[in-house]
Structure 1
Amino acid sequence: MNSSNTTVTELSGSGDLVYGCDYNPEQWDPAVWPEDIRLMKEAGVNLAAINIFGWAELEPADGVLTFDRLDEVLALLHANGISVNLGTGTSSPPPWLTAQHPEILPQMADGTRRWPGGRQAWCPSSPVFREHALRLVEQMAQRYGSHPAVTVWHVSNELGCHNALCYCDISAAAFRTWLQRRYTTVEELNRAWGTSFWSQRYSDWAQILPPRATISALNPTQELDFQRFSSDALLDYYQAEAAVIRDHSSIPITTNFMVAAHIRNQDYWSWAPEMDVIANDHYLDHRLDAPLVELAFAADTTRGLAQGKPWLLMEHSTGAVNWQPRNIAKGPGEMVRNSLGHLARGADGLCFFQWRASLQGSEKFHSAMLPHAGTDSQTWRDVVGLGASLRKLRELAGTTVHAEVALVFSWEAWWAHDQESHPSGDVSYLSQVHAAYTALWEAGLTVDVVAPGAPLSRYKLVVVPNLYLIRDEHAAVIRDFVDDGGSAFVTFFSGIVDENERVRPGGYPGAFRDLLGIRTEEFFPLDPAHPLTLDNGSPASLWSEALRLTSAEAILSYATGNHVGTPAVTRNHFGAGEAWYAATVLDSGVLKDLLLRAAVTAGVVLPEVQSGLESVTRRGNGHEYVFLINHTTEDRKHRVSGLELLTDEAVSGVVVVPAGAVRVVRTTPEISDTHGLAQGRKDAGHDSH
């Protein structure tokens, strides 16, 4: 089973959009449960995730299993028409297990152990942990594998959130096995890792360790391969649980991804094909300059992982979280805007952590659908209102988002880009990805986030920010896309190394040198406090290059610094298309203008959207559904005709979106097919600038 044959709406049990919650009945007296169920029905909840952290409840001592309370909760939910997302309960081992087997505890790069008392205190490679966890999973699958309430299995929880990287001896042995499968011989590993540098050449597999803390810089390829191994180790663990479940159950299986700015250790492009449905957890991150834009990026990335099909938001919050330096509650209408923002970008289900706010534990100040204040609260009224809105939007189920612009994003490029001993420690991969995405978001352009090597023929413009590491065959996909008439916009420090962190000789930007029609001899990082000025008067910060043109033309050049007159932004006609290059960190407004210019010449249809009004369109059922989300304190207008689904009002020509509100208009346009989009790209002319 995989994501291609399971729809999100099946999980609701009724085919409706999913409206769900994490429910932790083990934290409450059973006398509270009937009230919980009554209020869930009032809110419109149709999917409850249970037993996520249930191991110690189900198995209070080694081999002593008790399912009575879980049986009762399942029966109660089923009797009231609420489907169940059933957790396997293995995300955190119970105290008896770590007391009996302290060797399962994870070890950090400096050799110190991490102790129980929190969550996920286990080594992903531990056979002892796996033995006990799979024993519990088998009992769960045998007992509930055909339970009528269960519509989806939830393996573990947020795999790798805390324990993604373990450096213990067990992990070291597993790492060596993984390396043997990848390289076959020690000689090939030596070649791939460049171990002739610093006398690192290995003569036996037993000599190889994880990249533990050293007194100097580490081998970059060793670090990169350990990231790959660690992602694969957790994926292998997921597959082990899934295999046990499938022996006893035909119910779909998934786990919750964490596509978010602060999580980077899982390469979800390799995980996604193993899921029966793609699910993601996302929380607004107030540590970022633009948390709202990051929400959109995460949603678009999750849709990319789902290959454009609808996906499930497994967790988000009604208000504040508990783990940021400042845990800020959401303002009026913000929860609804956030939720419907995910729906606009392809989710067919919205779930919250958590149902009832905890009274104890480290998450007691994490918001919930039913807050500490109870039902006499704005949060509860918003929760009930959102449930009613989803019922009004049920016809959107199965519709999809269509984009003419793609952005290439890579977890392994992220791992490689942000290592030490690079030209500048001031430049991070994700910040540059977010900068490019933010410019597109502010321009109102809908973006598909895609993996390196993904097919590009349906797009007109492909944006490639800071893709430091790329395989030759994946670079060829971008080259062929441009050659065939597409447009690419590449930013600095891209194409530099191959999959083994080996620099491509002959001048930067390596894999993209011919495509871009440029050649860079040296990088010149800039002090953040001392940007240069471009010939249009705008700043150029953090990065500059000694770049010369081979076939490209200069669009912008440096007006100050040691390389006055040197191109900073270029454009190259290549085959039937064109390729742009930004060799510095541009002012956000300049970057937006250049991306818009590239989009126009590529033939992208530009939206007419007022500032602060987010617009995304889903298609299906012979209709377009235009989501309009007003993030401002003033009313906004948008040209559209059709039926506004939330108010059930006809719209003729213009819809008014009140301050802080959301409107969803069903229209019936002529929808271009994929061939038409591609042909439009090929036929688009180039501007004369």
Structure 2
Amino acid sequence: MRKPQNFQWSTISLGTCYYPEHWDKSLWADDLERMKAAGIRTIRIGEFAWSKVEPREGEFTYEFFDSFLEVACKAGMKVIFGTPTATPPAWLTEKYPEVLNCRMDGVKYRHGMRRHYNYNSPVYQKLSARIVEKFAGHYASHPSVIGWQIDNEINCEVDVFYSESDIVAFREYLKKKYGTLEKLNQELGMVFWNQEYTEWDEVYVPRTTIHDSSNPHLTLEYYRFVSESAISFCRMQSDIIRRYAKPGDFITTNGMFNHLDNHRMMDEALDVYTYDSYPNFAYCLEEDPIHSKGLNDRKWSNHLSRVRSVCPHFGIMEQQSGANGWNTRMEAPAPKPGQVTLWAMQSIAHGADFVSFFRWRTCTIGTEIYWHGILDYDNRDNRKLREIVGLNQTVQRMKDLAGAGYLASFGVLEDYDNLWDADVDVWHSRLEKASKKEIFAASQLNHTPMDYVALSDDTEYEELKKYPVLFYPHGLILTKRRAALLKMYVEKGGCLIVGARTGQKETHGRCVMEPMPGLLSELTGTVVEEFTFVGAVDGTVCMDWKGSKLDTGIFNDILENVDEDVKVLARYASNYYEGKPALTERTVGKGRVLHFGGTFTREAVAAMLQYTGILSPYHDQIELPAECELCVREKDEKKYLFVLNYSANEQTIVLKKEMTDIVSEAKVVGKMGLKGYGVAVLRL
């Protein structure tokens, strides 16, 4: 069972990221006053400033941030302090090269970028613990400091680690988990291609091979090891900070990134979770905005839904405020007028109660000279700043909405075993990406809000029961505990929808020698007779459901009923398995389970949502065009409908019941125009 989060913001508020080390001291006071005038009351500092406190090994000075905090205190500005471990200083990496991460071929990543260290170097752990203790011991008592960010974007840039320290730590991890080489060889299938180990010194993290293809079961275990290493590094810092933090001050980190169990990190090390939201990535010059068929920046609603799974009432530590880009990559256009506000409100609509913009002013030096802030190099007021002022006026009118829950009509189950297995297994990855994208698209385009729901062996029924429908798209890896939980969910009245390849593997990623859906076969009353990718020569393979032809995606399991009470809802309409079951339904207890043989497409998902009675749940209250997203938050039995227009053109929405526009406090009903990139917040 998940632990409740330890901290929530009491009001919705705005902040920004500020780097006093980048600017002359003469700018500090004016910057903070301009922030306050725009409605910004909180800043994040320090996460890349190790040398400002320890310029040489063992030499500590606090003058720089003491001076800045004095200015912040006079301005009444609240401060979130970052620990500086994401960028070890030059003196450290030069003297202790063992702290550096490596490429798979063993070449070290050198000083000059960021996140060039590894979590498992004993030297780096010792020096990191010391600098965190110095930061916290000196600054935590300051009245302006209200919270701490650990490191910066853990597992960003790189989420794999190949240093000598990681090799040593990985061996110890495997020894602790498996005990003997005989058990490791057996459970991870090392007999394949003569990979069995006879000495622990023969075991390595994945290394350069032909096609960079390593044993998939060992690689899956390695990703679990990477997660353990990152969580341990985060928890070490959190434990230190807790010894010094004032009552009520929070500990967070900003994410989320791969090969990291963010749910465990939240539960074990953090008080609240924060995310870095950059929807403008959708418009980078290397992207194809046409390919996503209008969902572009709405993909960040998908990301925010995952964040909400980790922490229901989260914050945004870095919110898009200008064009993104380094001098080496990620070139992108500037946000259009209205998009900065739209994207901030997108975060709030999905559950963010604190939104901090990256950054206050565009940096004039370094790699991120094109990662634009609220202000540009010239430091003049501009339209982005005016948008922040206008946004703050809206936030002030809705500030008491903090803590409101997000209302989802259905859930999508996710677990780290399958997410990481999809990183190992390209068959799995292709299915996973296709189905998740299409389920999200169906949710968005049909205005049926969704949640991601974490599934683990610790998940309990109470965490699932609020969802009338749960999708488990491609649960290749299943455990008996999770299968039993899903059976309980169905028996007690839930509707479970599973897709192709369900139950193919056990926890090490080994294929089981029983028909799919494996451990769920008793629940579904079906088995998979045969399976295949849909090839280019096959064209689109559809299923016939109530006279409608619905695309079954890129992969098809051909189903076979094994229980008489299984109902065939749809059959394949082409290919060599034409006429075979594609979608079945079985009633179990008070609920039902649908077994879909395909990968999910938006049309098929919409049909399933319609069939289960949850499609477009607010259609009696509001009618929206596809260009708009609907999010619903609830507090004190009042519903707040966020309508976000991602189009440059004005859209017409129709209110079928009288509502209150919380910005104007006016009563509204009937047709309502929503300008391009506009947002409406309506109280129902």
Match of 2:664 in 1: 647
Shift of 1:95: 0.9
Q: Does 1:493 align with 2:510?
A: no
Shift of 1:482: 1.1
Match of 1:7 in 2: 7
CA pair 255-412 structure 1, distance change in 2 beyond 3 A: farther
Match of 2:230 in 1: 234
Deviation per residue, 1:381-438 (Å, 9 max, x gap): 1121112221111110122113241111223312112424x6x488152332222122
Q: Does 1:283 align with 2:298?
A: no
Deviation per residue, 1:178-222 (Å, 9 max, x gap): 122222333332332122333333333333211212236422121
Find the partner of 1:369 among 365, 374, 398.
Answer: 374
Match of 1:223 in 2: 219
Is 2:375–2:381's contact at 8 Å kept on the other side of the alignment?
no
Deviation per residue, 1:30-66 (Å, 9 max, x gap): 1111221111111111110000101122222222222
What letter is aligned with 2:632? T
Is 1:371–1:379's contact at 8 Å kept on the other side of the alignment?
no
Bigger drift between 632-641 and 69-78 goes to: 632-641
Is 2:431–2:554's contact at 8 Å kept on the other side of the alignment?
no
Deviation per residue, 1:596-644 (Å, 9 max, x gap): 322449x977664412232222112342222122233223223343431
- Measure the CA separation in 2 of the matches of 1:164 and 1:587: 30
Match of 2:605 in 1: 591
Find the partner of 2:136 among 134, 137, 141.
Answer: 141
Is 1:353–1:368's contact at 8 Å kept on the other side of the alignment?
yes
Is 2:409–2:614's contact at 8 Å kept on the other side of the alignment?
no
Find the partner of 1:243 among 234, 239, 242.
Answer: 239
Match of 2:392 in 1: 387
Find the partner of 2:152 among 157, 163, 178.
Answer: 157
1:53 is paired with a residue of what secondary structure?
coil
Find the partner of 1:86 among 81, 84, 100.
Answer: 81
- Measure the CA separation in 1 of the matches of 2:243 and 2:422: 41
Find the partner of 1:322 among 311, 314, 325.
Answer: 325
Is 1:417–1:468's contact at 8 Å kept on the other side of the alignment?
no
- The number of residues matched between the two structures is 653
Deviation per residue, 1:250-286 (Å, 9 max, x gap): 4544343423xxx422121221202111111121131
What letter is aligned with 2:241? I
Match of 2:583 in 1: 569
2:430 is paired with a residue of what secondary structure?
coil
Is 1:495–1:510's contact at 8 Å kept on the other side of the alignment?
yes
Match of 1:473 in 2: 481
Q: Does 1:459 align with 2:467?
A: yes
Bigger drift between 577-586 and 474-483 goes to: 577-586
Shift of 1:487: 0.5
2:85 is paired with a residue of what secondary structure?
coil
1:641 is paired with a residue of what secondary structure?
strand
What letter is aligned with 1:75? E
- Measure the CA separation in 1 of the matches of 2:420 and 2:584: 28
Is 2:234–2:265's contact at 8 Å kept on the other side of the alignment?
no
Q: Does 1:619 align with 2:639?
A: no
Is 2:322–2:340's contact at 8 Å kept on the other side of the alignment?
yes
TM-score normalised to structure 1 length:
0.89
Q: Does 1:446 align with 2:459?
A: no
CA pair 328-381 structure 1, distance change in 2 beyond 3 A: same
Is 2:501–2:557's contact at 8 Å kept on the other side of the alignment?
no
Is 1:531–1:542's contact at 8 Å kept on the other side of the alignment?
no
- Measure the CA separation in 1 of the matches of 2:440 and 2:586: 22
- Measure the CA separation in 2 of the matches of 1:587 and 1:402: 23
CA pair 604-212 structure 1, distance change in 2 beyond 3 A: same
Is 1:256–1:281's contact at 8 Å kept on the other side of the alignment?
no
- Measure the CA separation in 2 of the matches of 1:600 and 1:244: 47
1:449 is paired with a residue of what secondary structure?
strand
Bigger drift between 548-557 and 67-76 goes to: 548-557
Shift of 1:652: 4.8
What letter is aligned with 2:559? L
Question: Identity, % of aligned pairs?
Answer: 25
Match of 1:102 in 2: 97
Superposition pairs of residues 169-318 of structure 1, within 5 angstroms: 169-215=164-210, 217-250=213-246, 252-259=249-256, 263-273=257-267, 274-284=269-279, 285-286=281-282, 287=287, 289=292, 290-306=295-311, 308=312, 310-318=313-321
Match of 1:664 in 2: 681
- Measure the CA separation in 1 of the matches of 2:252 and 2:146: 13
- Measure the CA separation in 1 of the matches of 2:331 and 2:598: 33
Is 1:124–1:163's contact at 8 Å kept on the other side of the alignment?
no
What letter is aligned with 1:522? E
Match of 1:549 in 2: 561
CA pair 530-293 structure 1, distance change in 2 beyond 3 A: farther
Bigger drift between 273-282 and 537-546 goes to: 537-546
What letter is aligned with 1:569? L
Q: Which runs of 5+ in 2 are unaligned?
A: none
CA pair 28-117 structure 1, distance change in 2 beyond 3 A: same
CA pair 144-3 structure 1, distance change in 2 beyond 3 A: farther
Shift of 1:526: 2.0
CA pair 528-102 structure 1, distance change in 2 beyond 3 A: farther
Bigger drift between 122-131 and 59-68 goes to: 59-68
- Measure the CA separation in 1 of the matches of 2:232 and 2:56: 27
TM-score normalised to structure 2 length:
0.90
Match of 1:52 in 2: 47
1:203 is paired with a residue of what secondary structure?
coil
Shift of 1:533: 3.1
- Measure the CA separation in 2 of the matches of 1:29 and 1:222: 51
Is 2:22–2:363's contact at 8 Å kept on the other side of the alignment?
yes
Deviation per residue, 1:321-347 (Å, 9 max, x gap): 115644132222122111111111111
Deviation per residue, 1:439-492 (Å, 9 max, x gap): 122221222211114331111000112222232211221121112221112121
Is 1:641–1:651's contact at 8 Å kept on the other side of the alignment?
yes
Shift of 1:29: 0.7
Runs of 4+ in 1 over 4 A off after TM superposition: 323-326, 603-608, 652-656
2:320 is paired with a residue of what secondary structure?
coil
Bigger drift between 437-446 and 654-663 goes to: 654-663
Bigger drift between 545-554 and 495-504 goes to: 545-554
Deviation per residue, 1:136-160 (Å, 9 max, x gap): 1111111112111111011111111
- Measure the CA separation in 2 of the matches of 1:609 and 1:348: 27
What letter is aligned with 1:519? V
Match of 1:629 in 2: 644
CA pair 520-183 structure 1, distance change in 2 beyond 3 A: same
- Measure the CA separation in 2 of the matches of 1:391 and 1:538: 46
Is 2:423–2:429's contact at 8 Å kept on the other side of the alignment?
no
- Measure the CA separation in 2 of the matches of 1:106 and 1:576: 53
Is 2:558–2:597's contact at 8 Å kept on the other side of the alignment?
no
- Measure the CA separation in 2 of the matches of 1:363 and 1:625: 38
Is 1:278–1:305's contact at 8 Å kept on the other side of the alignment?
yes
- Measure the CA separation in 1 of the matches of 2:340 and 2:254: 21
Superposition pairs of residues 69-80 of structure 1, within 5 angstroms: 69-80=64-75
Q: Does 1:410 align with 2:415?
A: yes
- Measure the CA separation in 1 of the matches of 2:610 and 2:335: 32
- Measure the CA separation in 1 of the matches of 2:129 and 2:56: 16
- Measure the CA separation in 2 of the matches of 1:269 and 1:65: 35
